[in-house]
């Protein structure tokens, strides 16, 4: 397939290398979608910056190009993007994390949250660790984990980076060269239960985004990685 890369930073370059290995062609690599003819591509993959994601995605809908977005930190505009996708009969997948491992971890996190909901002695917290160039905090993945926990129990009504009543605490750490680590901990006076996902590099995120793009071509509507990976 002919791929447009919207954003050619760490992820754009990793996707390029893996996409070529899988027999695809990169026809556009840009940090300014308004300067290119997006209709040359069969599909667009957006890994850009929070301020650019919505414009990139809506430009794809307006030109009938299926779009996969992994950019985090722009979700206030997500519902508008979904509505525009339906209006334009477009095709769209957003995921806070495209790796197979993290998507399995999301399933495990939801199941654990369901089990823990009846045991109020355990307090839960999330820790995420990323490289120092990351623009947003907490990570999109940590937000997905938090929202899935909040959905599955009654104690927490929101998540927060601060210490707040009834808020599930998220701690965001920035350490040189860490691709992405997420840790969910349940702690009581008696013991601790921890689940952790550690990315060793960016290949899992990139491969997941390419697989999502391959899957999306020829479809119409808004999908998630659960659809792509056939999970639950």
Ligand X SMILES: O=C(O)C1=N[C@H](C(=O)O)C[C@H](O)C1
Residue 82 vs residues 50, 77, 106, 204: alpha-carbon distances, Å: 17, 9, 22, 25
Q: Which stretch binds ligand X (CB under 6 A): 81-89, 137-145, 161-169, 183-191?
A: 137-145
Helix (H, G, I), strand (E, B) or coil at 158: strand
Among 4, 92, 139, 207, indicate the residue that binds ligand X (CB under 6 A). 139
96/143 Cα distance (integer angstroms): 8
Using rule CB under 6 A, residue 109 touches ligand X:
no
Q: Can you tell me the distance from the alpha carbon of 127 to that of 224, in angstroms, rounded to the nearest whole number?
A: 24
Q: Is 72 one of the binding residues for ligand X (CB under 6 A)?
A: yes
Which of 11, 68, 91, 228 forms a contact with ligand NAI (CB under 6 A)?
11
Q: What is the DSSP letter of 24?
A: -
Residue 56, binding choice from ligand X, ligand NAI, none, Cβ under 5 to 8 Å by partner class: ligand NAI
Q: Which does 52 bind (CB under 5 to 8 A by kind): ligand X, ligand NAI, none?
A: ligand NAI
Confirm whether 134 is a catalytic residue: yes
For position 96 contacting ligand X by CB under 6 A, the verdict is: yes
Residue whose entry in the numeric block shows the structure tokens 């910056």:
49
Shortest CB 6 distance to ligand NAI, Å: 5
Cα 57 to its chain centre, rounded Å, is 15
C-beta of 96: minimal distance to ligand X in Å? Answer: 5
d(CA 1, CA 116): 44
- Nearest distance, CB of residue 213 and ligand NAI, angstroms: 13
Size of the site for ligand X (CB under 6 A): 10
Burial 37-69 (b: 16+ CB within 10 A, else e): ebeebbbbbbbbbbebbbbbbbbbbebebbbbb
Binding residues vs ligand NAI (CB under 6 A): 6-12, 31-33, 47-49, 52, 56, 70-73, 95-98, 133, 205
Binding residues vs ligand X (CB under 6 A): 72, 96-97, 130, 134, 139-141, 180, 205
- Residues assigned a catalytic role: 130, 134
């Amino acid at each position: 397939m002919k791929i447009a890369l919207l954003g050619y930073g760490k992820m754009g370059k990793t996707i390029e290398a893996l996409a070529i290995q899988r027999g695809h062609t990169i026809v556009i690599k840009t940090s300014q979608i308004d300067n290119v003819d997006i209709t040359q591509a069969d599909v667009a993959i957006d890994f850009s910056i929070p301020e650019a994601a919505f414009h990139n995605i809506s430009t794809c809908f307006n030109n009938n190009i299926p779009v996969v977005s992994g950019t985090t930190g722009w979700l206030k505009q997500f519902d508008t993007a979904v509505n525009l996708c339906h209006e334009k009969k477009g095709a769209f997948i957003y995921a806070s994390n495209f790796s197979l491992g993290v998507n399995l971890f999301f399933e495990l996190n939801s199941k654990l949250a369901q089990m823990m909901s009846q045991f109020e002695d355990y307090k839960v917290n999330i820790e995420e660790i990323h490289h120092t160039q990351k623009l947003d905090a907490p990570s999109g993945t940590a937000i997905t984990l938090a929202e899935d926990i909040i959905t599955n129990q009654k104690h927490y009504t929101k998540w927060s980076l601060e210490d707040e009543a009834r808020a599930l605490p998220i701690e965001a750490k920035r350490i040189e060269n860490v691709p992405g680590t997420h840790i969910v901990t349940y702690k009581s006076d008696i013991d601790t239960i921890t689940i952790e996902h550690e990315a060793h590099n960016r290949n899992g995120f990139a491969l997941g985004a390419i697989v999502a793009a391959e899957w999306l071509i020829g479809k119409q509507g808004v999908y998630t990685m659960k659809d792509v990976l056939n999970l639950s």
